[in-house]
A and B are shown apart, each in its own frame.
Chain A
Amino acid sequence: MIRIENISKLHQGRPVLKDVSLTIDEGTNMGLIGPGGAGKSLLLKIVCGLVSPDGGKVFIDDIDVHSLSPTELADLRFRIGMLFQNYALFDFMNVAQNIAFPLHQEGGHSDEEIDARVEQALIDISLPGIGHQYPNELSGGMKKRVSFARSVIRRPPILFYDDPTAGLDPVTSSKIFILLQKMKTEGGVTSVTISHDIKGIRDICDQFALLDEGELIFVGTHDEIEACDIPMVQKFWQGYSDDELDT
């Protein structure tokens, strides 16, 4: 279970997260939505201990993430997989090395086992035979899928996806969502998915949280968000704008 308690964060004196509290139960797939610049990615980085909050606490399975020593935090991170918004593939490694990297670092796996798992991962993301290529030779969609494979190769029980379909065409986006759906159906995974693709995450998330200007303004299920009468929530969920454009 992930428990976020009263998280606040300032950036250059300006509050970017204001007293955010959220509980994600084990096995829940939470969709974190909201306009750009609302603080979604920052919240995700705070949850997995990459950024320290100015106030509040984050508990993963009742462990206070930000009170851990570097070694304890590293141990916790072995149980977390993260897909970054801009891929974050290591330029100096080829695709196979990128995917195999978490397994090498974890230790206890033979080279044959790692090779087999990498090969299977490439098949799972529909990119067999590209293991020798380097990230700069791949398209955005391919990078995203490789990054996905790297984040799940250790089969972590907690997964964070930061805008997995940002900048992708609809066909590639649907391929990514199929992968996320597969992770969901395999079960046992607690995940948080940030996305602007409402249509896409409707099917893969059980719960939704909407963050606007650093404030959490809604948390609820699919039915609850449909029935919610907060204008901002409806605007975002239905994808319309009140503003008129000059023509």
Chain B
Amino acid sequence: MHRLASKIERPFAILGEKAMKWADITGGLFLLIWQIFWNLLPWNWDFDGPEIWRNMYRVGVQSFPIVVVTAVLVGAIMVIQSGLYIEQYQAHGLLGWGAGYAILREVGPILIGLMFSGRVGANNTAELGTMKVTDQIDALRALAIDPVAYLVVPRFLSMIVMMFLLVVVGNFTALIGGAVTSQFLLGVDMMLFYQSVVTYVLLDDLWHGLIKSVMFGFAIAVISCYFGLATRGGAVGVGRAVNASVVGSAIAIFAIDYVMAFGSL
């Protein structure tokens, strides 16, 4: 009887445990967002210019090469994939529109967001996680310093600003990559590609992608900082936190993208 009862209870116990874990993460994320905005209120904000500048360099400038390479390849792939149909229907004038629309609105922000979360988000979680398990976060608190104000706010601002700028740069280089590929692989004149982009791609498409980039930057910053500060259990814990941060950021990117795509219908 006892064994039967415990067998029946087991799935509920697992379910309850998972629900508690998710509630803990969700609550922690919202609490962190609240603390960040609290620290950003004009009368609370202790603006640390050099720290923000240093973070911008670290998360933005140092990500520049990888974003450029990704963007050029994305542009080239978009053109190659559309090339088959463009050739079939002899619709060379639509090549720029097809590639430009997809790059600016969807593929550019998403792929750069994923690269950003893999490089910057993971690094951020590992750094904060290591500080947590080596008592550096407690040391800050013991020295009367709020870790959110000192460590998270500069990272949060830098990640949002630099994600936006990287997507601007990435969009531009992806279009260049697409134009070059269309010229040399498909024989479609670069000027025709350019005209097609300018004529058919709307400013709204560009803004749609750029707003996404800000949302992605926000999500990656909050998630990576949360999992970093919530790290427990030494080096193994840091590994787990980085894993959770990258997976969480990727899910957030696709979820935000879905909501924004649905909202723009």
Contact = CB atoms under 8 A, between A and B. Distances in A.
Interface of A: 45, 48, 50, 70, 73-75, 77-78, 80, 82, 84-91, 101-102, 105
Contacts of A77: 141-144
Nearest to A45: B138
Nearest to B142: A82
B145 A88 contact: no
A161 to B, nearest CB: 12
Contacts of A87: 134-135
A200 to B, nearest CB: 22
A80 B142 contact: yes
A74 B131 CA distance: 20
A105 B139 contact: no
B136 A91 contact: yes
Contacts of B136: 88-91
A78 B135 CA distance: 18
B146 A74 contact: yes
Of A73, A84, A85, most buried by chain B (CB within 10 Å of CB) is: A84
B244 to A, nearest CB: 20
Contacts of A73: 144
Contacts of A88: 134-136, 138-139
29 contacts: A45-B138, A48-B142, A50-B138, A50-B142, A74-B145, A74-B146, A77-B143, A77-B144, A78-B144, A80-B142, A82-B139, A84-B138, A85-B135, A86-B134, A87-B134, A87-B135, A88-B134, A88-B135, A88-B136, A88-B138, A88-B139, A89-B136, A89-B139, A90-B136, A90-B139, A91-B136, A101-B143, A105-B143, A105-B144
Contacts of A102: 143
Nearest to A70: B146
Interface in B134-180: 134-136, 138-139, 141-146
Given A75-B144, A88-B136, A91-B136, 11 more contacts: A45-B138, A70-B146, A77-B144, A80-B142, A82-B139, A84-B142, A87-B134, A88-B139, A89-B139, A90-B139, A105-B143
Nearest to A85: B135
Contacts of B134: 86-88
Determine the main DSSP class of A at the interface with B: mixed
User: What are the 4 A-B residue pairs with the smallest beta carbon separation, nearest first?
Assistant: A88-B139, A77-B144, A88-B135, A74-B144
Contacts of B139: 82, 84, 88-90
A101 to B, nearest CB: 7
A90 to B, nearest CB: 6
A81 B261 CA distance: 53
A91 B136 CA distance: 9
Contacts of B146: 70, 74
Nearest to A76: B144
A186 to B, nearest CB: 21
A82 B131 CA distance: 16
Given A86-B134, A91-B136, A50 B141 contact: yes
A190 B143 CA distance: 17
Nearest to A49: B141
A78 B144 CA distance: 6
A73 B146 CA distance: 10
Nearest to A92: B127
Contacts of A84: 135, 138-139, 142
A75 to B, nearest CB: 7
B74 to A, nearest CB: 34
A75 B145 CA distance: 10
A229 B131 CA distance: 43
A2 to B, nearest CB: 15
A125 B141 CA distance: 24
A68 to B, nearest CB: 12
Nearest to A162: B135
Nearest to A82: B142
A149 B252 CA distance: 44
A87 to B, nearest CB: 8
A70 B141 CA distance: 10
